[in-house]
Structure 1
Amino acid sequence: MLKFFGKVFLIMKKRTVIIAEDDNNSSEILQEFLKKAADFEIVGVAENGEELIELNFNLKPDVALVDIGLPVLDGMKAIKECIKTNPSLQYIFTTAYEEFAVEAFDISAADYIVKPIKKIRLYEALEKIKSPVPSEEPVAADKKSKKLIVKTGTALQVINSDTIVFIEKINRKTFIHTREMTYESNETLGNYAKMLNDNFFSSHRSYLINLNFVSQIISDGETYFIYFHDFSKYAHVSKLKYLELVEKLKR
């Protein structure tokens, strides 16, 4: 967004938002309202407190819209964990009950919305998030995430990105292949691409590869396979990405 102040043009990036809501109807309403809010962009949706913590750790959003009554871990407890790793996070609580308002503001919530959620009420709450978010400068590779946090069963697994060989999407699941083991995740491949540094390259719509591990590219007709050092699994590279991949490997 381009904002004009006198003779100075200030380019503002959209504020990134994650929604944490276990009720599908409420989640869809929030998503629909936010899509019409020009200054905000949804980057993730969680259905429980643990998923909220995972998304916050990996995506470092600007804003969280959080239902207090989340399963597994309630919204307030989850937010207290989120701000430990993302202290600049601003958050708005949503709930069907009014009695949590005092506690919500005690932990510095920007606002507290009682359901049913109305569009005007949500926009009023978003207006309270006043701190400008300046246009994002290119992020140096060493400034991006060196660790990922992934929910595996009842545990949250921390993965060092340097150990990731490639990430693969199969149907609605994402699989993170490391030297030691493979982790299953519900996170999108696109979000992982945003989190990881420039050593990772999207070779195909279903693959995100670590360039440091690539040993060879083999063609079989119009299909290209990527093989990795001392690793049995392989990935694919699309014809459209082949030349770009070769150029990156030359650097």
Structure 2
Amino acid sequence: MKSIRVIIADDCSISRRLLNKLLKSEPDIYSIVEVENGSEMISRVLVEEPDLALVDVTMPMVNGIDAVKECITFMPHMKVIFITGHNNYALEAFDVSAVDYIVKPINRERLFCALEKAKQAIYYHRQLERAKIENPKPLHDGRKKLVCRYEGTTFYIAFQNIIFIEKEGRKALIHTPQKVIETNETMSSLLERLDVRFIQSHRSYILNIEQVSEINNIGDSYLARFDNYPERAYISKSNFQRVAHYIERLVSIDTNRSSES
């Protein structure tokens, strides 16, 4: 089943064409996007939300390593394979958790070996996501709190009071009924410390599904609305089915637990 979205970032058109041709022979590849510099890569990753990036290190505008560092702040589970003509950037590449580092000229077997490692990592992450949906932890625990800091102040925010979290520039805004709390922490760092009632619906939004009252379609994306709270949160088109299933699954499980008790 074709399921993996790939972006190729390389300023050499010959390398891009060769990689595109090789990838098209892989049955698991769903779509391939090509870009020729690091700045364009960042912009397209925001839109395409790829599972895997094949990245040259030395590109104009923004180099490959810096582009990847920026991308994984909003796509932390994107896998990366560096493919470059230079062998002296390997340590920096693995500092951003690259799956592999391939030195040009591209060897077909070497590339497919790296692709196989990347695919296994992608499928493993998806299995963990499915397991979290199918075997959730109890939702209603009023003792759970998110601890975060901003400009010398430490906040202790009850999970149940978090409506949604929004990325704004390099800050995250935590929406609660009383106020919006700012923090410099990344979305991935916050999501890791939250429980099963929270899901990333968009590169810039994390929802508390217990707070969602309705979801409206607005063209290529969706808006989540909340009871007694005027602000709205976005759900990307690629995440809509996952979010909808997540909400329905957890609401069903929570209802069954309530009827059994």
- TM-score w.r.t. the length of structure 2 is 0.47
Structure with greater strand percent: 1
TM-score with structure 1 setting the length? 0.49
Q: If each structure's helix is expressed as a fraction of its own residues, which one has the higher value? A: 2
